[in-house]
Amino acid sequence: MKNQRGKLIIISGPSGVGKSTITRRLVERLKEAYLSVSVTTRPQAPSEQNGREYWFISREQFHQRIEAGALLEYAEVFGNLYGTPRDKTDEALNAGKTVILEIDVQGARQVKALYPQATMIFLLPPSDKTLAERMRRRGREGGAVAARRLSAAGSETAAAWQYYDHMVVNDDLEQALGEVMQIIQEAPRIEAESDTDQNNIGDR
Ligand code: 5GP
């Protein structure tokens, strides 16, 4: 029988669009979901916990992981490195779980090249003004960093229109969540990694 793997869902969007809120709620609502925790060289914010939002590691440790092939994808975003640990993701997919990756556009394209059945969802703010307001309210980053993130949002969104399977506007949280849930329900599963290497080709 064909090995049924889980679904691979990529969620991206500009800083302040509400990615973390949406992914957290998704994991609560979906049965059998796994939210990947990335490794990053970015400094830990006071509100964050090591192992919850991210695993905070040094550049040297990050490069060791790249060399060991331990990352499914990685990218430099706003001057820091971010990457998805491969082992946990594989394990969850093999267990038939819905794996959620909250990663940027560069990383998303790497994952899609590896897994063409991955579903790419990009979250959009209702307007640029709301994005700026949400970032200011969140107050996680200082003025210069916030400005840099805001100006990156435009080019990221332009790239997303080209590469993503779905664009979802996060104006009303419940509505956006409903749309994303619907997309996930209809998303294809990832095909078994090496069907052709196994002796079960005639048994699909
Ligand atoms: P933040 O510093 O705001 O938590 O994240 C900055 C950006 O890095 C966001 O666009 C976020 O989606 C992205 N990001 C977080 N983890 C990963 C990862 O593992 N890989 C990639 N490529 N991007 C990531």
Q: What is the pLDDT of residues 132-175, one digit of tens each?
A: 888 888 888 788 888 888 888 888 899 999 999 999 999 999 99
From 82, 110, 149, the mutation candidate for ligand 1 (largest count of ligand atoms within 8 A of CB) is 82
Q: Give dist(CA 14, CA 122) in Å, integer.
A: 9
Q: Domain ranges in the chain?
A: 2-186
**106 ligand 1 Cβ < 6 A:** yes
Q: Which fold has domain 2-186?
A: Rossmann fold (3.40.50)
Q: What are 80-100's pLDDT values in tens digits?
A: 999 999 999 999 999 999 999
The strand pairing partners of 160, in sequence order, are none
Contact between 123 and 13 (Cβ < 8 Å)? yes
* Assigned token pair, 158: 């332009």
From 36, 104, 110, the mutation candidate for ligand 1 (largest count of ligand atoms within 8 A of CB) is 104
Identify the DSSP state of 43: P
CA of 77 to the centre of ligand 1 (A): 7
**92 ligand 1 Cβ < 6 A:** no
| Backbone phi and psi for residue 100, each to the nearest 5 degrees, phi listed first | -110, 125
Q: What are 20-67's pLDDT values in tens digits?
A: 999 999 999 998 999 999 999 999 999 999 999 999 999 999 999 999
The pLDDT of residue 2 = 56
